[in-house]
Structure 1
């Protein structure tokens, strides 16, 4: 019969429970409180293994849970504090997101293991591991699981995870590098010593060696090999153990089997004073493999460093205005609306808006453009960029956590959450390949042992070593990491890794016109006012009673009304109506009709400015009004913007835009694609731009819904589209396109919907992107092709016994190094 647990005591150990309901375990459908994480972990394990009856029939209370776990959880619980999370946790509405530095990652299999295990944790919404950068991007529901729970799960599967901070991450890398060097150095030194003893036996340089002398040499070799196996080789065993704990296999499983089996066989041979020993092969195998891993470690860090080092461009301190003077403070302590001073030559410490002064800013680290940008009062500036000339004061617009540079790096990590299909196939194939290698090795041993071959064991070891698919696991992630680093230098932000693969499949490229192919800097080329209607219009009578005597007066009055209304619009066309001096009017009931225009009321009179489609809709809607009229014989045949006041056509405008400087050259470079312009502008204007640039297909007068339908129809016809846009009205079509690119001064909504963002204003960066996508795909194919070819070529040699274990180790290491080197060529 079960014992009785005192009230307010731990149900597992019976000690006083001071944590309340913090640690609850459901036993027999009833929630019972535990006093600590240790008891919680033990009780959960009992329940998870179907042993709940233990609590029903136990006769005494259990020991308290592991105190070490208590200490670990107490440390991890610190990361649940809101004050601490303020620095590194990003709010994503219902979810939270964090970038973690993961210690102990050695290959793609580690990433797969972490992703699979964390995905099982309740509350995890997304987990993406970047092997190259040794980081993970985790999105979770804080109401279901806390950050400490995520870190605890990582620790349970053998990995330490901490919030990513550049300095700490760099220290972590150096710590791992130092560990690699120690293991590598030990393996190298011992390999030389063991090889000298082995050569002495192979070539009998000491004359006719007696059995006792050979036994002595073997014993010394065993002594020298042991630290190599137990210390230098521990990297592979720990990785294999992590895989077994997750009920899977990885590339380090056959490696570990080969090392330990060869070592144990040699140990038995020394003790029995008979049989073959391959201590030199073990040492060489571990040494070659560690050289390969070390070079991978360095090359991955170098690729990731190009992006992560951008954070080092942000100054640690800033000059803040407080208590009537400038004081030096930590940049991360700055808050929105704080006033900061930046002198000439200094880096800007935080995102903000200039409130005093004028200068030029070097934004090359963000955009790839080295030409300085003129900035004056009201212009935004970004952390990490360099103030080149005058002293400026700025008002902080975002905390350092949400600075553009931080956002860029975070989006790059998010990009790796969607792996290309080729990467998914390679990862899956490598796991099946490991299983196949283990099976082939076992069958080979059985065959050669049955044939009476004394080298059956060593043939099996050679198979395990030679065919380990390390190179296959590196093929895709190494290429993607290097490609992203190169694109980042060019001012191209990749938000979705598989977009690079999708780009190579594209058949069509579709451009928005305004702000994409053109600069979006409109000006009024022609203007016609309906003088008769202005004279009788009640609004103009009320505003300018008796003052509109000349045509110029009337035009100025129309422009003033238009400027007051268009100030509420962010569309590039609205800037054409801005005036240096305007009479401020009482504007209300503003309504922006996306893709068509804007409406508002001035002193109760209804005004509309927009396309012919908007004007027609208004007239149909107000057709019952007696004063509604529209002269269909427009004075300006090329007009594209119209103004209605109280249902009466007041003015017509012809606005034109200038082309992007690189647009014509880019169009020539993209001749192999079907090129189209898809715009909400008048058809005549769209055709004009298309003719000037040499684009064959031009589609104007499109609403956002029509643009979206255009893309869906093309996709239904089997075509793959790349869409370039910049405005709010482009967001739906950018989200629907196979690959979408936000260009230049794109709106935040467009950037959010796009797969890639061109941070600078160089349109020909698209050509760089297309070339890099093709090069990346080629490199991935080359890497996979080489890895598969090597494995399939070497397998027959290993099975036939033509490869010794050390030769197999050398070949496998060289194969991995070739793959990594081939990928790093993308960075040139």
Structure 2
């Protein structure tokens, strides 16, 4: 650390001096205790650099990487110049002390930062300038740059693995003659030559391929947090140093082949584990790349290609067949099919027409569309999904933290046992005391314990995301497996949440087609939800239309008075009471022409096509189903009876719903609440797991533990099955890892396992659990049974309505 009394003696430039003074004045002198590598050299920012950073304060520039959050704005940044953990510590401490900064965190692996600040107290450019003045760089995060970083990391891992593999083969070729005395008359000089060649082969393996183990071990020791990298680095370091000592000064044994083999097999297991994370990262990057950088904006009869971030709400754009939508918007002209796999996980395209809302990331099918822009940049639905994925990956579930704690305890015990083993064999006069100690360190490395749990969770999350079920909290996946009761809202969850024409009962001379055409001609002048039922139907021209709010509409069809509306409203116009059909369900809408009733149209919400199968499948897994709805009891009763719901409560207020969930929770039930409206938020907060439908409001999705992107209720069952299967896989891995270590430790301590065999055994153990965990990403495993079956029957149920 420089001398604060004579700084001119220690600094190479004014930039370094400025950084030191900043660190010293803010009381961040511990930076020099944490530092494990030389930091980048700071530089003074030019006027052009400052102006370039000031441009990022403009709302247009922030659209791609800044999003509003509670209490301020959130920016995703890519930080350059980080060389070690001390750099991150310094950045987080320094930025955290700036006025207006709510939080600033940096991911060491991806060098990606999340900055939350209050725009009323500071500008984004001021914070970026502060980062640059420390000697680092900060730029807006873009998915293409992140993908390049992921590919670079993957490429480095492959190169390290290749170096370790080549070193292992070469060192074994040199060691076999010495081990098995193939050359029995080998002279001491020739043996020494083999050792020198082995040292030459092993050095790049230790210096390059094993470097992550050493850097991680140093970091862990500084933070007083033991992980598997500590015994790994200890074993590799001891074996290499001891072998080099024997090579230089003479001795009995060298362990270069064990060092190379150990590094190779451990790197192989870790490479397979990181491949799962790499694929998950590429999935997120690929989702981000679904948003194109340009769009075709319409201005009257003219069109121009503009950058997507230049679009504003209210603009009109043209989306050609095969193009990807750059914004969230509403179709104003055209009819086409859209592939929405990036958003919903459904790979079959859906047909969309005028008036329907579509989202960024959707790929247009066969016909051009004109779309009015609603949301752009970081405010699109796809950007929101990406932010949720980032948050989930940052959170560490309880089961992963538990595995880390067990591994830490195990490592500490091994670090105590290994010296005791050496002392015991040394006192016993054994010549191979070091060999035995090395085997203990290698064979008991808890790699499988630390690697398998996160791999299983990552694989399962990736699988569910592809299906269209997006976990938004770290605990979601592990909690789903305990669910024994699923509580549904009705409207928009079990039903489609919009009115449909169920039946037409003609009562006059007009045909059904004429009745619907006249009704569509009248309703086109209304904004009531009922009018949406008739959109897209053929229309008869109707003149002089008047809207009677809450009652109906009147007009003139072919010179005759026409009226459509509720029963009482039409009764007044025809002069008699009207009686709906006996089997009438939902809303009865009446049409009369020239004082004569022509038809009764039955309109109601419709049960989702997949709801029946989802309810039956849940019940087959011994999971109770409950429906809580604020709708009228008669409609709730009909839907419950149609679906076979175990229990249904109609006319329930948000407080009633929460009280019912609390009652279930007091009975030791683990509850999943599925809803889509703001009125569901209180009850969703009282559930073990809350799931928001893909059509739910933004606030509902923000508060939920998971989002059903595709709206397919069958995915609830698949999510529960995936959670139980994940738990079963993790339990298998934990039992295997602990069983292997408990069996291998006494064998190694007894001197029955040579170092090279210990390396193979440890690596094989890691590979077994990692490959077992990777099965989850393909969904090959059979659904696991419920851990706590409930006494629930599914045959012959009738709904109980209160």
Change (3 A) 1:190 1:526: closer
Change (3 A) 1:46 1:423: closer
Q: Is the 8 A contact 2:585 2:604 kept in 1?
A: no
Q: Map 1:634-645 onto structure 2 (within 5 A).
A: none
Within the alignment, does 1:369 sit opposite 2:341 as a pair?
A: no
- Structure 2 regions of 5+ residues with no counterpart? 505-517, 552-564, 567-579, 590-599, 779-802
Q: Does the 8 Å contact 2:131/2:138 carry over to 1? A: no
Instruction: Provide the aligned C-alpha RMSD in A.
Output: 4.8
Distance change >3 Å, CA 687–CA 324, structure 1 → 2 = closer
Q: How far off its partner does 1:414 sit?
A: 1.5
Q: 1:423 to 1:114 in 2, by over 3 A?
A: farther
Return closer, same or farther for 1:99/1:246 CA change in 2, 3 Å cut-off: farther
Q: For residues 212 and 237 of structure 1, what CA distance do their matches in structure 2 show? A: 33
Counterpart mapping for 1:84-123 below 5 A: 86-99=63-76
C-alpha separation between the residues in 2 aligned to 1:573 and 1:432?
A: 65
**What residue is the counterpart of 1:669 in the other structure?**
617
Q: Is the alpha carbon distance of 1:129 and 1:654 closer, same or farther for their aligned partners in structure 2, counting shifts above 3 Å? A: farther
Q: Secondary structure at the match of 1:488?
A: helix
Write the mapping of 1:525-564 to structure 2, written as runs, cut at 5 A: none
Q: What's the counterpart of residue 39 of structure 1?
A: 21
Query: CA 1:299–1:727 in 2, change beyond 3 Å: closer, same or farther?
Result: closer
Q: Which stretch of the first structure deviates more once superposed, 146-155 or 422-431?
A: 146-155
Alignment of 1:259-270 (within 5 A): 259-270=236-247
The Cα shift of 1:425 comes to 0.9
Q: Secondary structure at the match of 1:320?
A: strand
- 1:226 matched to 2:199? The reply is no
Could you say which residue in structure 1 is the equivalent of 2:556?
A: none
Q: Residue 246 of structure 1 corresponds to which residue in structure 2?
A: 223
SS at match of 2:43: helix
Deviation at 1:265, TM superposition (A): 1.0
- Superposed displacement of residue 130, structure 1: 11
Residue 631 of structure 2 is matched in structure 1 by 681
Q: In the aligned structure 1, how far is the partner of 2:764 from the partner of 2:44?
A: 41
Alpha carbons 1:355, 1:377 under 8 Å: kept = yes
Q: Deviations over 1:152-197 (max 9, x none)?
A: 99999x9999754322222212222332333333333333232222
Change (3 A) 1:227 1:418: closer
Cα distance, 1:561–1:683 mapped onto 2, change above 3 Å: same
> Match for residue 759 of structure 1?
709
**What secondary structure does 2:404 align onto?**
helix
Alpha carbons of structure 1 residues 395 and 713: separation in structure 2 relative to 1, 3 Å: same
Is structure 2 residue 363 aligned with structure 1 residue 386? Answer: yes
1:70 is aligned to 2:47: no
**Does residue 82 of the first structure (1) align with residue 57 of the second (2)?**
yes
> Are the counterparts in 2 of residues 38 and 67 from structure 1 also a CA contact under 8 Å?
no
CA distance in 2, matches of 1:468, 1:690: 55
Which structure 2 residues correspond to residues 342-741 of structure 1 after superposition, within 5 A?
Answer: 342-522=319-499, 567=528, 656-671=604-619, 672-741=622-691
CA deviations 1:365-405 (Å, max 9, x no partner) are: 32233443332233222222122132222122212222222
- Structure 1 position 721, deviation (Å): 1.0
Q: State the partner residue of 2:116.
A: 140
Q: In structure 2, what is the Cα distance between the partners aligned to 1:583 and 1:114?
A: 70
TM-score normalised by structure 2 residue count: 0.76
Number of equivalenced pairs: 704
Residue 658 of structure 1 aligns to a residue whose secondary structure is: strand
CA contact (8 A) 1:418 1:497 kept: yes
Residues 334 and 799 of structure 1, relative CA distance in 2, 3 Å threshold? farther
- 1:124, 1:138 within 8 Å by CA — same for their partners in 2? no
CA contact (8 A) 1:128 1:414 kept: no
Q: Give the Å deviation of 1:114.
A: 8.8
Q: C-alpha deviations, 1:433-478, integer Å up to 9, x for none?
A: 2222211212222222222222222222222222222221222221
C-alpha distance in 2 between matches for 1:164 and 1:583: 54
Compared CA separation, residues 791 and 196, structure 1 to 2 (3 A): same
CA distance in structure 2 between the aligned counterparts of 1:244 and 1:73, rounded to whole angstroms = 37
| Aligned partners of 1:38 and 1:69 also within 8 Å | no
Shift of 1:290: 2.1
Is 1:168 matched with 2:141? Answer: no
Compared CA separation, residues 637 and 171, structure 1 to 2 (3 A): closer
Residue of structure 2 in register with 1:623 after alignment: none
- Residues 485 and 670 in structure 2, CA contact (< 8 A), matched pair in contact too: yes
Instruction: Rate the CA distance shift 1:47–1:221 in 2: closer, same or farther, 3 A.
Output: closer
Write the deviation string for residues 481-534 of structure 1: whole angstroms up to 9, x where unpaired: 11121112211121113112212112211111122212223358899xxxxxxx
The 2-side partners of 1:69 and 1:722 are apart by 53
Structure 2 counterparts to residues 178-189 of structure 1, below 5 A:
178-189=155-166
Is residue 471–residue 705 contact of structure 2 (8 Å, CA) maintained in 1? yes
- Paired residues of 2:654 and 2:679 also in contact (CA < 8 A): yes
Deviation at 1:151, TM superposition (A): 12
Q: Distance in 2 between matches of 1:696 and 1:666?
A: 13
Higher mean displacement: 481-490 or 41-50: 41-50
> Does the aligned pair in 1 maintain the 2:40–2:136 contact within 8 Å?
no
Is the 2:411–2:445 contact (alpha carbons within 8 Å) kept by the matching residues of 1?
yes
Give the 3-state SS of the residue equivalent to 2:399 in structure 1: helix
Match in the other structure for 1:743: 693
2:273 is the counterpart of 1:302: no
1:335 matched to 2:312? The reply is yes
Q: 1:324 to 1:510 in 2, by over 3 A?
A: same
Conserved in 2, the CA contact under 8 Å of 1:130 and 1:413? no
Mapped to 2, the partners of 1:160 and 1:444 lie a distance apart of: 49
CA distance in 1, matches of 2:699, 2:450: 36
CA spacing shift, 1:658–1:159, aligned 2, 3 Å: same
Q: How far apart are 1:670 and its partner, in Å?
A: 1.4
Deviations along 1:521-571, one digit per CA (max 9) or x if unpaired, are 3358899xxxxxxxxxxxxxxxxxxxxxxxxxxxx99x999997x74xxxx
Residue 648 of structure 2 aligns to a residue whose secondary structure is: strand
2:63 touches 2:379 (CA, 8 Å); kept in 1? no
> Which residue matches 1:822?
772
| Superposed CA offset, 1:33-81 (max 9, x none) | x972232124556766999xxxxxxxxxxxxxx9944239999998785
TM superposition shift of 1:313: 3.0
Q: What is the alpha-carbon distance in structure 1 between the residues aligned to residue 684 and residue 670 of structure 2?
A: 13
Deviation per CA, 1:265-307, whole angstroms, max 9, x where unpaired? 1122122222321111112112222222222222321243334
What's 2:736 paired with? 786
Task: State the Cα distance separating 1:257 from its structure 2 match.
Answer: 1.2
- Show the counterpart of 1:647: none
| More off after superposition, 38-47 vs 210-219 | 38-47
The 2-side partners of 1:72 and 1:470 are apart by 45
8 Å contact from structure 2 (residues 456, 729) kept in 1: yes
Q: 1:471 to 1:145 in 2, by over 3 A?
A: farther
Residue 117 of structure 1, CA deviation = 8.3
Q: Alpha-carbon deviation of 1:655? A: 6.0
Distance in 1 separating the partners of 2:667 and 2:122: 44
1:458 and 1:152 map into 2 onto residues whose CA distance is 53
What is the CA distance between 1:733 and its match in structure 2? 1.6
